[in-house]
Amino acid sequence: MTSRLSRPASQSQAAIRRFATFIALAAIAASRATAQTVAQPETKPGAQRTRRIVVSIPDRKLALLEDDRVVKIYDVAVGAPVSPSPTGEYQIAQRLENPSYYHPGVVLGAGANNPLGPRWIGLNVKGFGIHGTNRPNSIGKNASHGCIRLRNRDIQDLFARVQVGDRVSLVAERTGEVAGLFGPAPDSTQAAQTIVAKNESATTPDSDTRGER
């Protein structure tokens, strides 16, 4: 009688072991599938954003774009008619904190009297850049020797947001993009405002220096 009962019990135990093995294999397969899903995120972490500066010379405004979205718009001064700002596509080539001002016979360190203000963002065209100013009343006008001037608080803000290599578009006409960024064209009275700051020379500084422009 003992031998007759032992065979079914042995078969039952084998079936249980096979079932347990199946469950274990299924659990391993499920965990691998989950791991593969987690290992393939939808976006790459730390993806670099694309920044671009657009300056509208007729509007005397600067827009900072990030991934084609407007981050901030600043009022600026642009070149006077006798010394217009350059136009075209450029890149940021240099970033300087508390720059010194160089002009033939004049060297000024950082401070309230420095015509470049507290920050210099140099472009890949000699002698031109985006900077602060010691003449805040020139902002919003055609007043510089070609450079783009911002209020000192604004240049510090912009400086912290951009990097060497970022694109800079200096636009002389109101294109569709410019109208979309800055809205309606300025009125004729505002557009006619032009000043040349007192004691500024209309001559072009040496190409190897950062004269006020």
Query: The domain spanning residue 79 has which CATH number?
Result: 2.40.440.10
Does one domain contain both 79 and 177? yes
Q: Is 147 a catalytic residue?
A: yes
Is the torsion defined by CA of 86, 90, 96, 102 positive or negative?
Answer: negative
**Residue from 147, 155, 158, 196 carrying the catalytic annotation:** 147
* Catalytic entry in 60, 61, 119, 131: 131
d(C-alpha 15, C-alpha 36), whole Å: 32
Co-location of 91 and 165 in the same domain = yes
Number of domains in the chain: 2
Residue type, 20: A
pLDDT computed for residue 12 by the predictor: 57
Q: What per-residue confidence (pLDDT) applies to 67?
A: 95
- Pair (98, 171) in one structural domain: yes
Is there a catalytic annotation at residue 145? no
The predicted pLDDT at position 147 comes to: 97
**CB neighbour list of residue 121: distance below 8 Å, 6 or more residues apart:** 92, 94, 95, 129, 130, 131, 155, 158, 159, 162
- Rounded to whole angstroms, the maximal C-alpha distance in the chain is 122
pLDDT < 50 regions, the chain: 1-6, 16, 19, 22-43, 188-189, 191-210
Which residue range(s) make up the domain with 15?
1-40
Is 99 found in the same domain as 70? yes
pTM for the model stands at 0.69
SS3 138: helix
